[in-house]
């Protein structure tokens, strides 16, 4: 009887221990996925400020101000100061000229930066083509598959970096990955879908500051296959034709905001009143030049972040009158068997599939530089 009790006690002890560990992991995971509860101790102020904005634009766009939607307007010596109801935007009209005051300051700290990608971090020169891969912090296998397939090139004119947000659970793994490959750019905002725009701003800011002599920036998500040789040849032709200022992408026109509350991209009328978005390029795969990136970064200061990053860029392009060049070879669906005439193709289901498809097609379609 005593022996049975001891065995039962040991079984219960092990069960309780395992359940305790599971509860701890679930709690940590929950804390890293629920936006309203995610506040990092080392950046509470910035984090609280960003979530107070709720990653939305108001019905008139936060940087477009008129007297009709203001709480006060003061006229003094031909100067009109307009204060918006949310107290985020100030516009001064002086002698019939308009001066805007920035309403948003992007301020996060780097946790990891790459090495020997551009001149500023040890390379001999900035690359002709820089791949900037927007990656989920948890998708280590996706990044590894990219490094072994389309991101693996010996061409010194091509470099590759990955941009990540932060996850406390992934911290030691990202440290090892960064130490091994030295191609990680990470900042201390929480890695979540609602923060995709922060990743975009981070990518643009890093490129503008640390790789400003790169000729073309290929901005792409981590679930794409890319024909590296094809895009390299195309961009070289553009460069020889002196097309040094471009924004290429799969451009959406007359797209409607989703008013379905169950949708991942739900936007209320109060957040954006128009029935159609301005033209925008699918954010998963596009090519820009540094001059365009610099203009966008300047415009972002006058816009509250919104969570749909490609639309956010489209709104900025509309304000800046930047032309978006339609390029259907950035394909929205995964079709590796058509990569002989596509720059990129979206949506491989697993890293293993990417590697298998690469083995099957990359030599056939001459996809490596």
Domain ranges of the chain: 67-101, 110-361
Q: What per-residue confidence (pLDDT) applies to 9? A: 41
Residue 233 is inside which H or E element, if any?
helix 228-240
Record the pTM. Answer: 0.75
Instruction: Give the whole-angstrom CA distance, residue 117 versus residue 265.
Output: 35
Q: What per-residue confidence (pLDDT) applies to 306? A: 86
Query: Tens-of-pLDDT digits for all 369 residues of the chain?
Result: 444 434 434 443 343 333 343 343 334 334 443 333 333 333 333 322 333 233 332 222 222 222 222 233 333 334 333 333 333 334 343 344 446 789 899 999 999 999 999 999 999 999 999 999 999 999 999 999 999 999 999 999 999 999 999 999 999 999 999 999 999 999 999 999 999 999 999 999 999 999 999 999 999 999 999 999 999 999 999 999 999 999 999 999 999 999 988 898 898 888 888 999 999 999 899 999 999 999 999 999 999 888 899 999 999 999 999 999 999 999 999 999 999 999 999 999 999 999 999 999 999 999 999
Q: What per-residue confidence (pLDDT) applies to 234? A: 98
DSSP 56: -
Instruction: Give the whole-angstrom CA distance, residue 146 versus residue 43.
Output: 31
Q: Indicate the CATH number for domain 110-361.
A: 3.90.550.50
Q: What per-residue confidence (pLDDT) applies to 233? A: 98
Q: What per-residue confidence (pLDDT) applies to 99? A: 65
Distances (CA, A) of 308 to 84, 198, 258, 305: 23, 10, 11, 9
Instruction: Give the whole-angstrom CA distance, residue 349 versus residue 128.
Output: 30
């Amino acid at each position: 009887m005593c022996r049975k009790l001891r065995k039962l006690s040991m079984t219960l002890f092990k069960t309780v221990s395992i359940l305790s560990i599971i509860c701890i992991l679930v709690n940590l995971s929950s804390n890293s996925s629920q936006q309203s509860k995610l506040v990092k101790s080392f950046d509470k102020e910035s984090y609280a400020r960003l979530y107070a904005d709720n990653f939305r634009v108001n019905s008139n766009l936060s940087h477009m101000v008129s007297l009709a939607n203001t709480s006060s307007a003061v006229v003094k010596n031909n100067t009109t100061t307009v204060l918006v109801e949310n107290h985020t935007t100030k516009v001064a009209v002086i002698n019939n000229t308009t001066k805007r005051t920035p309403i948003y300051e992007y301020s996060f700290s780097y946790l990891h930066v790459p090495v020997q990608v551009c001149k500023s971090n040890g390379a001999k020169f900035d690359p002709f083509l820089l791949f900037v891969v927007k990656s989920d912090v948890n998708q280590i296998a996706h990044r590894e598959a990219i490094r072994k397939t389309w991101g693996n090139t010996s061409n010194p004119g091509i470099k590759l970096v990955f941009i990540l947000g932060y996850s406390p659970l992934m911290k030691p793994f990202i440290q090892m990955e960064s130490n091994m490959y030295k191609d990680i750019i990470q900042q201390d905002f929480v890695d979540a879908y609602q923060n995709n725009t922060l990743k975009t701003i981070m990518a643009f800011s890093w490129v503008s500051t640390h790789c400003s002599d790169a000729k073309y920036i290929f901005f792409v998500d981590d679930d794409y296959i890319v024909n590296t040789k094809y895009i390299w040849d195309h961009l070289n032709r553009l460069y020889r034709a002196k097309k040094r200022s471009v924004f290429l992408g799969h451009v959406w026109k007359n797209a409607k905001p989703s008013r379905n509350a169950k949708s991942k991209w739900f936007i209320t009328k109060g957040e954006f009143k128009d029935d159609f978005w301005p033209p925008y390029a699918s954010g998963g795969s596009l090519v820009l030049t540094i001059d365009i990136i610099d203009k966008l970064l300047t415009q972002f200061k006058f816009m509250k972040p919104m969570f749909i990053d490609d639309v956010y860029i489209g709104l900025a392009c509309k304000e800046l009158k930047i032309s978006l060049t339609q390029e259907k070879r950035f394909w929205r669906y995964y079709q590796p068997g058509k990569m002989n005439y596509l720059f990129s193709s979206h949506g491989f289901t697993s890293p293993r599939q990417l590697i298998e498809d690469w083995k099957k097609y990359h030599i056939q379609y001459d996809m490596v530089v």
